[in-house]
Chains A and B, each alone.
Chain A
Amino acid sequence: MNSLILASTIGVAFGWTLERAGLGSARKLVGQFYLNDLTVFKVMFSAIVTAMLGVFWLSRLGIIDLGQVYVPETFILPQLAGGLVFGLGFVVAGLCPGTSCVAAATGRGDGVATVLGLFMGVLATGLCLPRFAALYGSTPRGTFTLPEAFHLPYGTVVLLIVLMALGGFTLAERIEARR
C-alpha cells in the first residue's frame, strides 16, 4: 500500500509538472516537429540531464544504490521499430501516453480520444503478440548502457550528453527566435 501511495504522489508531481510546461496541449507538442515550438525537446532533455546528473552524484555519494534502481532492458530491433511507430502515432495524435492523460484530465477531448486509442492499441497488440513473438523478443542485450556500448567511462558519457543537450538548447533558442 505504501508503494502505491508513493506512486500516486510521484504521479501527482509528474502530472503537475507536465501541465505547467504546457505539455497537455497537442498543438504545442506537435510544434516540435514543425519547429514552431521546441518545448518538448527543452523539457525532455532538461529532465534527462537533471536526473542523469542527479543519479550519478547521489550514487557516487552513497545516497542511492544504483544496483537497486531498475534499468529498462535493451532489445535493439523492437525498441528501434517501436520508436518509429510510436513517433508516427505521436505526430498523428499530438499527444503521448503520459500527456494524453494530462490533456484528458484538463478537459481536452482529444486527450480522451488518445487515451482510448492507446488502450485499444495496447490491447490489440498484446492479443496479437504471440504471432510476432520472434520480433518482440529479438536482439536482446539485457541491461546495456551507453558507456558499455561505446567503451567509455560512465562519467565521460554523462559529459558528452550534457554537452549535446546544452548545444541543442542553444540551437533550439536560435530556431525559435527566427520564427
Chain B
Amino acid sequence: MTRLQLFGVGALGLAVLAAFVGTPVPPRPGQIDVNQLAGMIAREEDHVTAIDLASWIKDRKAGLRVIDVRRAEAFDDFHIPTAENVPLPSLSHAAFKATDTLVLYSDGGAHAAQAWVLLRSLGYSRVYFLRGGLGEWLDDVMNPVIPAHAAPDLKETFKRTVELSEYFGGHPTEGDRPPATPTSQRIEAMKRRGC
C-alpha cells in the first residue's frame, strides 16, 4: 500500500470511529447523552436482578459496591449485606472509583433508577440498579417461593436460589406467595421471624 493509501485508510478509520462515537462533544460531568442512556435503558443494560446481586455478593465480585440510596434511618433498620449508605443528596460528593461496579438500590427501585441516571451523567460507566428495589431482594432472595406444583426444570433452578437465600439467612418456601405488602412491612415480618 502506498503511503497515500495508508493516509486514506487512516482517514476512513477515524471517520468510522467518529460515526460510532456520534458526537464531537466530549462527555462532560453533569451532561447527559440522552441517546446513549435511552438506548441502554431500552436494552435493559441498566439494571440487575436481586438474584444477580446476591450471586455477586456471595462470590465476592471484585470492585463490587452495593449502594443504598435511602435515608440513614431506613438503612439502619435493614440493608442488604455489604451495602454502604450513600443517601441520594450525597451522591455527587461520593468519590467512587471508575473501576468499581456500583449497584444501587432503594425501597421500590425508583430512587435507585434516578440515581443511576445521575451517576452516569457524572461519568461512571459501571453502574447498575436493582429494578425491584429492596422489595425484590426480600421476595427473591430472602423469602423466595416456589409454587407447589412447579415444573421440574423450575425446581432445578430454584435449588440455586435456595442456596443463595440460605447464605443470606433467608427462608425459602414452597407454596403460594403471600400478597405483596409494602417493603417496610415485609422487613418487619422478616425480622419477627428471627434468625
Contact = CB atoms under 8 A, between A and B. Distances in A.
Q: A and B touching (C-beta < 8 Å)?
A: yes
Interface of A: 49-50, 53, 55-57, 59-62, 66, 153-156, 158-159, 161-163, 166, 169
Contacts of B20: 155
Q: Chain B binding site: helix, strand, loop or mixed by DSSP? A: helix
Given A154-B23, A154-B24, A57 B18 contact: yes
B23 A155 contact: yes
12 contacts: A50-B11, A53-B14, A56-B18, A56-B24, A61-B26, A66-B24, A66-B25, A155-B18, A155-B22, A158-B18, A159-B18, A166-B12
Looking at A59, A61, A159, A169, which has the most chain B CB atoms within 10 Å of its CB? A159
Contacts of A159: 15-16, 18-19
Given A153-B23, A155-B22, A57 B14 contact: yes
A88 to B, nearest CB: 32
A60 B26 contact: yes
Nearest to B10: A53
Given A56-B24, A59-B25, A66-B25, A169 B8 contact: yes
B25 A162 contact: no
Interface string B1-31: 0000000100110111111111111100000
Interface of B: 8, 11-12, 14-26
B19 A153 contact: yes
Contacts of B26: 59-62
B18 A53 contact: yes
A158 B16 CA distance: 8
A27 B20 CA distance: 42
A71 to B, nearest CB: 12
Contacts of A57: 14, 18, 24
A55 B16 CA distance: 15
A166 B8 contact: yes
A2 B22 CA distance: 36
A106 to B, nearest CB: 27
A147 to B, nearest CB: 9
Contacts of A59: 24-26
A169 B8 CA distance: 10
Contacts of B17: 155
A53 B22 contact: no
Nearest to A165: B11
A153 B22 contact: yes
Contacts of B21: 60, 155
A49 B9 CA distance: 13
Contacts of B15: 53, 155, 158-159, 161-163
A53 B7 CA distance: 12
Contacts of B18: 53, 56-57, 154-155, 158-159
A70 to B, nearest CB: 16
Nearest to A66: B24
